[in-house]
Structure 1
Amino acid sequence: MEKALWYLLVGTRGGQSRVRIIRAIEDRPRNANQLSEVVDLDYNTVRYHLDTLLEHDVVEKGGEDYGAMYFLTDRFEHHREEFERITEEMD
């Protein structure tokens, strides 16, 4: 997971946006539309980042279709310290 987090947050474009999305979900579960409003990104951009985070087991989806809520995975929570360390180094 640590390698995946480095890749997702530092190694590719969009890392800062992914951090903002993770922080918004950390605050409370949200659907893609709510996330779009909170992080002030286009809905399609948020969906792209959510799909990437889903693929790397950072977030999971509860429900289907438009209103699906996104949550942080237990695996991510287990590696939260690495996430915090990486984001500190990003600043």
Structure 2
Amino acid sequence: MTNQLLEFKEIIRSRQVSQQRKPDKQTRKLLLYLFTSTRGGFTRLRIIIHLLDKPYNTHQLAQTLDLDYKAVQHHMKVLENNNLVSKIGEKYGAIFHLSNFLELNIHTLEEAIDKLDRKMNQKKVYM
């Protein structure tokens, strides 16, 4: 998993825009909480990394990540409720993509990845 986190960090770095702005305190707290302080943080990070490439629906993400559909559905609700992903369409066929809010603050995920890496090396991680 540590190698995967390093890979995620490189992907995030490659997506950064030249004019980085420092995230406000609340944004930083939100991203750190969602990706490092909750049990599903690593899974949510995996979802975000996949959504960097292209939009997916819940079924496609479940297949791609080899996870249960209901688990992915739960994580998508958490991400959507916190304005990190946007949804086009309804129900089963809804397509998710990164929100403008997350696109603007994507570089903040680097700190979350570092913290998650330290945390995963200390104790068992639930996915």
Q: Is residue 2:88 matched to residue 1:62?
A: yes
Percent identity (aligned): 38
Partner deviation per Cα, 1:29-55 (whole Å, 9 max, x = no partner): 000000001111100000000000001
Secondary structure of 2:97 counterpart = strand
Q: TM-score, normalised by structure 1?
A: 0.94
Secondary structure of 1:66 counterpart = helix
Q: Is residue 2:81 matched to residue 1:34?
A: no
Q: CA RMSD in A?
A: 0.9
Higher relative contact order (CA 8 A, sep 6+): 2
Residue type at the aligned position of 1:74: N
Gaps of 5+ in 2: 1-26, 118-127
Partner in structure 1 of residue 79 of structure 2: 53
| Equivalent of residue 10 in structure 1, options 21, 26, 36 | 36
Q: Which has the larger radius of gyration?
A: 2
Q: CA deviation at 1:27?
A: 1.4
Q: TM-score, normalised by structure 2?
A: 0.69
Number of residues of Structure 1 aligned to a counterpart in Structure 2? 91
Q: CA deviation at 1:24?
A: 1.0
Partner deviation per Cα, 1:3-49 (whole Å, 9 max, x = no partner): 11111001110100000111111111000000001111100000000
